[in-house]
Amino acid sequence: MTFSRRKTLALVGGGVILAATASLGTIATRKTRTAGLPWTVAGQGEDARHRALSYALLAPNPHNRQPWLVDLRSPGEVMLYVDTARLLPHTDPFSRQITIGLGCFLELLRMAASHDGQRVTITPFPEGHDDNALDARPVARAVFSADPSVTPDPLFAHVMQRRSNKEPYDTARPLPDDTLARLAVAQHGLFGGTIAEDEVARWRSFSREALRIEIETPHTYRESVDLFRIGRDEVDANPDGIDFGGPLFEVMAATGLFTREAALDTTSQAYKAGLDAVYANTDTAMGHVWLVTPGNSRPDQIAAGADWLRVNLAATGAGVAFQPLSQALQEYPEMAELYADLHARLAPGGGTVQMLARIGYGPEVAPSPRWPLEAKILDA
């Protein structure tokens, strides 16, 4: 769950916050010191693997958990593992979404290497896998080899501008008719979408209801709140999870207007403002896109991640804002009815809906915080 910066300002006593901003100017203007650095050093390093990994760690992933760990002890290889301390047991009980995030990581690794004259051969789950739980076995082995004939992936050009845009979109600006065709770059699963006004209205209502269920289910909502990073110091200390940085949240944190306790208190203004804020996002979708795979094995989920990264990058290249709406895809009992409804709509003949997102035109947003590469390399 993410609070819209603009909407929260309007809802949580805007005049009080503006007055506080004026009196707490130093706090209001503070920016993160280290959380954004990985975006500025991508592509650096003497080893081709380091250069590719410095881009791969910028990949989208659920709740920005950045669940990847890499072992580089074998020359020319990257062995990818999942950090099991970064799973989402309540909203993602089978780690399907986490696995998709790892697939995004691997595809971005491959793309980056292709622009560095390196061919990467990826073997998912070389020691086997459990479709119900991720464990200590490797997620993938990626073997690098210099190859001047490798074809650079053109979607890589959009990596540094890619975002998950969690702000309201411009409802006065419709998407061009060719939008879906420009985003149809999946190579494994079935890509679909709609920008038809009547269908978008139905998906807005559906995604709003899914959000309501996630937020009003105590154990799933608490999982998100526990991952809130409020203000510069928290974001720098833990550049993962759901970040709330920038002038507005610096002041709200300093004045006690926004805390985890307030967010959990369903009678508080912070909770009510946050609820309206996330609804403002779903209610301003100007189109929706999705991805369906025939199967739902771990390798299927890795492939879905590769496709999803490509769709996100294609949207970036088209100037289209993009935000995953994963709530109705979550596999816990309270969401079961909507999960079944979603599959009846999008996969009536069978298969698994792996991803759903809203698209439109949104404001420019900052990149998400990231842990540095050295924090993700397993000790030799």
Of all helices (H) and strands (E), which one includes residue 321?
A: strand 321-324
What pLDDT, on a 0 to 100 scale, did the predictor assign at position 273? 82
- What does the block give as tokens for 313? 């990058």
For residue 272, give the amino acid letter: K
Dump the DSSP string for 232-261.
HHHHHHS--SEEE-SHHHHHHHHTTSS-HH
Compute the average pLDDT of residues 348-361.
98
| Mean pLDDT, the chain, integer | 92
φ, ψ of residue 175 to 5 degrees: the values are: -80, 145
Asked if domains 5-23+161-360 and 37-159 share a fold, the reply is yes
Residue with the bigger pLDDT between 205 and 32: it is 205
**Residue 13 confidence (pLDDT):** 42
Distance CA 38, CA 2 (A): 22
What is the maximal distance between C-alpha atoms in the chain?
61
pLDDT band at 257 (very low <50, low <70, confident <90, very high): confident
Euclidean distance between CA atoms 368 and 170, whole angstroms: 22
Q: What residue has token string 């979607």?
A: 155
Does 37-159 carry CATH code 3.40.50.300?
no
Domain boundaries, the chain: 5-23+161-360, 37-159
Q: What is the rounded CA–CA span in Å between residue 321 and residue 164? A: 8
Q: How large is the average pLDDT for residues 165-185?
A: 98
Q: Are 151 and 305 in contact (CB under 8 A)?
A: no
**How would you list the strands of the sheet with 352-360, edge to edge?**
190-194, 287-293, 352-360, 321-324
Quick one: 5-23+161-360 is in which CATH superfamily? NADH Oxidase (3.40.109.10)
pLDDT at 11 over 70: no
Per-residue model confidence (pLDDT) at position 30 = 56
Res. 25 pLDDT band, cuts 50 70 90 = low
- Pull the structure tokens for residue 96: 């399907």
pLDDT value at residue 29? 52
* For residue 127, pLDDT beyond 60: yes
Indicate the pLDDT class of residue 42, thresholds 50, 70 and 90.
very high
Q: What is the pTM of this model?
A: 0.92
pLDDT at 335 over 90: yes
